[in-house]
Structure 1
């Protein structure tokens, strides 16, 4: 009897973390419906809400020790809808549809990039360095695309009011966001931050200042912040590569000087 009850418990799923995942999935689905209806601002906000919920479900699962393979797979499927399909559809309906084939190709590049990014992440989750993401994370990429649409709508660019030049810029940003997701560029994950640890009082002041800044102008601050994060990845990787090359060149010159000195000393001793 006890064995049967234990098996039934094992076949069940944990409610709390999967509830957050379902809420994130709903937010992504709501973003799609809102974009179809022409409510692009609501669609962009829904994608950002999905980001918050997606960040909570993993933390809740770790804090309550309710991590399961089902939860991980369900989270990936939710991410594909909220951060893969929804942002591409929102930006396409907002301003890329007027471009014809180029518009839906840019949207497809983004969607394919998100799918490949999630598939690669799932296969490397056990061996990857927890401090870094390989490629731009799909939530951050979705924030760039959704934030761009939100800023444009805030300035009155939507529907017939979207200039063709702005559509080309949006298509470029959308396609680049998709390519960054499947790149080998490393992005800081911030997973080493422990919310249970004590923090300096200054850090709390900075957090309050950040909340006030976002509240002052949410679309521009959020879009600008995530755009800087997306750009900082390639920049930091280039700086790190240049630093390593300089170190190799310096070590090579030291070895060469040591070899020359050894040869000179040997020649003097032979004389």
Structure 2
């Protein structure tokens, strides 16, 4: 039934604003769905034995995950629905997918130890995402509390990508081969990376639930101009990565995964407070989440 004018209101007085229909913002949530598809695609490819394509799905999800929030802020389409959708997509793409890909690729021969490592990683990803949602208002924006789940997924998927490329090409990368040989001995020399994958999966999973501070790079977003030397360094980095992308990107992931522990040790050595929680909370359910 159409609204009838109020006879008691003057004609020149504006009426109430029309009601806006509540809906879901399409663009950022479509990007989130695409990231979710990347994780689902990785699982399907792993089931079919296509591990190179499986890691591609995880890395594609990482790129898309970095875009949906930025697009929402640029277009002023942030919403509580989008935040929840992003967390659920992250759980699939950076929690379940890397764990299952790692299990099918190398952990399955280890039996119970293999699925134990895969489950620990998956559970830690869920705990990390839940803690992030709870602590989003009380942490220092310059740092992440624990290894971010996309970085943990990149560490696991990067190792699979590198070793799969080496096996398919029937060649060895001297630096990387020397490193994993020290970790796994003769078994690694024969191409069996199960125990190395076990160690990396556990390290990535447990690092997500520590209070170790990882630099977030969020304080660099507001800078509109950078020195010319930064562009030169960026060009050199792109050129180096293009020479041996799997090896160099994996080393970048390893470096970032270790950087949090370096920051933690540096703060402790200087006598600084190592926790990145900037304020306290009075919510009873949140006590004990912000410890050092």
Q: TM-score, normalised by structure 1?
A: 0.84
Residue from 218, 233, 239 that aligns with 2:266: 239
1:6 aligns with 2:19: yes
**Counterparts of 1:217 and 1:3 in 2: how far apart (Å)?**
63
Higher mean displacement: 179-188 or 196-205: 196-205
Q: For 1:12-31, what aligned pairs fall within 5 Å after superposition? A: 12-31=23-42
Following superposition, the deviation at residue 17 of structure 1 comes to 1.0
Residue from 51, 56, 61 that aligns with 1:40: 51
Higher mean displacement: 218-227 or 208-217: 208-217
Asked whether the equivalents of residues 51 and 101 of structure 2 are also in contact (C-alpha less than 8 Å), the reply is: yes
Cα shift readout 1:77-99 (whole Å, capped 9, x = no counterpart)? 00000000000011110010010
Cα shift readout 1:105-139 (whole Å, capped 9, x = no counterpart)? 00000000000000000001122111000000000
Asked whether the equivalents of residues 167 and 191 of structure 2 are also in contact (C-alpha less than 8 Å), the reply is: no
**Counterparts of 1:197 and 1:183 in 2: how far apart (Å)?**
33
Q: For 1:186-201, what aligned pairs fall within 5 Å after superposition? A: 186-194=213-221, 197-201=224-228
What residue number does 1:177 align with? 204
**Counterparts of 2:103 and 2:230 in 1: how far apart (Å)?**
39
1:212 aligns with 2:212: no
**Counterparts of 1:93 and 1:225 in 2: how far apart (Å)?**
25
Following superposition, the deviation at residue 213 of structure 1 comes to 2.2
Per the alignment, do residues 3 and 145 of structure 1 end up closer, same or farther by CA in structure 2, a change over 3 Å counting? Answer: farther
Following superposition, the deviation at residue 6 of structure 1 comes to 3.2
**Counterparts of 2:31 and 2:204 in 1: how far apart (Å)?**
26
What residue number does 1:66 align with? 77
Per the alignment, do residues 3 and 166 of structure 1 end up closer, same or farther by CA in structure 2, a change over 3 Å counting? Answer: farther
Alignment length, in residue pairs? 241
Following superposition, the deviation at residue 175 of structure 1 comes to 0.8
What residue number does 2:276 align with? none
Cα shift readout 1:12-42 (whole Å, capped 9, x = no counterpart)? 1111111111111111111111101000011
What residue number does 1:53 align with? 64
Following superposition, the deviation at residue 166 of structure 1 comes to 2.0
Rg larger in structure: 1
Flag the structure with higher helix content. Answer: 1
What residue number does 1:256 align with? none
**Counterparts of 2:106 and 2:64 in 1: how far apart (Å)?**
27
Cα shift readout 1:171-229 (whole Å, capped 9, x = no counterpart)? 01101110000001010000111266111111112222222222222211211101110
1:125 aligns with 2:152: no
1:166 aligns with 2:193: yes
**Counterparts of 1:120 and 1:179 in 2: how far apart (Å)?**
14
Q: What is the root-mean-square deviation of aligned Cα atoms in Å?
A: 2.1
Unmatched tracts of structure 2, length 5 or more: 4-14, 170-186, 273-292
**Counterparts of 1:57 and 1:185 in 2: how far apart (Å)?**
26
Cα shift readout 1:211-263 (whole Å, capped 9, x = no counterpart)? 22222222112111011100111122112211217xxxxxxxxxxxxxxxxxx
Per the alignment, do residues 151 and 22 of structure 1 end up closer, same or farther by CA in structure 2, a change over 3 Å counting? Answer: same
